[in-house]
Structure 1
């Protein structure tokens, strides 16, 4: 029998540097996804506790302040916070793909948790963060990023890895791909429309090249109405809020459901039917 799946992608602003609030927010989205009939819900990269956007600033003092706070609000893979999220997934009967900053001693890793509807947790670490990200995150071990699940073969990658051919999943092995984006800030005079186009283009290309469904959650950056100016030139804007738009795409790179408005927090749902042979998505229906 064909496998029928309702998938959900998170588009939301993280509870920046506040792990307890972030865990509660994550559980809320899992419960909402389950109530909406989803069997799979995907979160942005390092949704807990949010992406370290201070790296894009030129103040060393800011970096030292945030680094300790970031470590303190990062999550361990076997702690009480992950256990609470796994319990929520089991209660809602939803498979969860969760991007989080994993604390292991004094090291932090960019990690993706695959949490089954039975509460089982498997974690993969990003092998090589970008040079700037290495100011915060350590290198991980090259993981297998394709999981064999009751929903088919599900692959997972973080945003920048989609631009590195040597780190991309063997496309033929996947049936569903989660492209987890940490969001995109607007830098200097770059417009938000350009920022939105970055993750959209990457996700569309991946879907077409692999012939797979792509679920692309994204974070809103990182505080509503947020902006940072250059202290040496107060009229010079360095960064401002943005984020991108969550997408669920078919193998042709087209939307299976109309995206949420930019800047709006919520879940994007789409219904999918997997061919019995497990090779292609043969029927795709837009979900309301």
Structure 2
């Protein structure tokens, strides 16, 4: 997925959007995305990042409702979720191409009978250059989404530089972060839900993204979502639970030196914009390149399985009818016409 590039941008104008989704309609949330892309592009932005699973919305209900009461909202999320490709992804691709802007968008992806926490990255020409799924949903999220695989732990070349992406608490998986660091990401896309848990979530998030910027020697552009008071009440009328749907916002842009490039957005809606001086990457890495001169690969290194997983892999003869042979008791036995590894499975099954 890596391209050869001869020209590197010296400065990139980046944006992180902290806006509220529409909790009723995928199409209305998508309209907000397209409006925000237009607004950011009008200010010269070359990269914009939206929050985690922003389209159609993050499943906030799963954090405050018990499983026995969450079925209706879960089904509604299925109905409004995004398939890839679809008219929804085509609309984002068209906006990216029209405005010449790289777009990082979090979606609830529907793949037949399962939902996934998916990060989509559209290049400035509208091409979808990355589709990755969160490798392990967190806590309540495991009731909602399936698991991703190693194929998504990939850094891609874009119109603004080399980009890697992780969602929320994937940043607490040091090996997942190291996989992107080892591929020399220059800009890291981070996405969190926002409007959850309270101020401590925002504080922890800030520590996490600033540390990754320092350790990776890259810029981090982080977007969190926002819920209005009316939306919180619509999710749960229980006031004792509503406090769990406030706070936790830390939309921020951080330099390779771990510094905020603009005051973060912690309340309300807004678009955070900052200019990334790409020379700061070398300034940081000349002293500490954690996957280069500061690494000790003969002592410590990462082995990653980057293959995409699938529920079924068909071999060439999978659906051919084997020639039946007679077993000692006179019954027809097909196991000996199989490949050796298939025979073992059949014989074990018969023995059981």
- Alpha-carbon shift at residue 245 of structure 1 (Å): 2.2
Which of the pair is proportionally richer in helix? 2
2:142 is aligned with 1:134: yes
Within-5 A mapping of 1:67-78:
67-78=74-85
Write the distance in 2 (CA, Å) between the matches of 1:259 and 1:207. Answer: 15
Within-5 A mapping of 1:9-88:
9-88=16-95
The equivalent residue for 2:296 is none
When Rg is computed on C-alpha atoms for both structures, the one with the higher figure is: 2
The equivalent residue for 2:247 is 242
Are the aligned partners of 1:274 and 1:280 in contact in 2 as well (CA < 8 Å)?
no
User: Aligned Cα RMSD in Å?
Assistant: 2.3
Task: Give the paired residue count.
Answer: 272
Q: Which runs of 5+ in 1 are unaligned?
A: 187-191, 283-288
Deviations 1:33-89 (A, max 9, x none): 111101100111101122112222243343111011000111011111110111111
**CA 1:171 to 1:57, structure 2 compared with 1: closer, same or farther past 3 Å?**
same
Are the aligned partners of 2:13 and 2:273 in contact in 1 as well (CA < 8 Å)?
yes
TM-score, structure 1 normalization: 0.86
Which of the pair is proportionally richer in strand? 1
Higher relative contact order (CA 8 A, sep 6+): 1
Deviations 1:225-255 (A, max 9, x none): 625465xxx7676633334120001112111
- Alpha-carbon shift at residue 273 of structure 1 (Å): 2.4
* Aligned with residue 200 of structure 1, among 206, 211, 214: 206
Write the distance in 2 (CA, Å) between the matches of 1:43 and 1:237. Answer: 24
Deviating beyond 4 angstroms after TM superposition, the runs of 4 or more aligned structure 1 residues are 222-225, 234-238, 278-282
Q: Which runs of 5+ in 2 are unaligned?
A: 1-7, 286-352
Are the aligned partners of 1:180 and 1:218 in contact in 2 as well (CA < 8 Å)?
yes
The equivalent residue for 1:285 is none
2:181 is aligned with 1:171: yes
Write the distance in 2 (CA, Å) between the matches of 1:154 and 1:34. Answer: 19
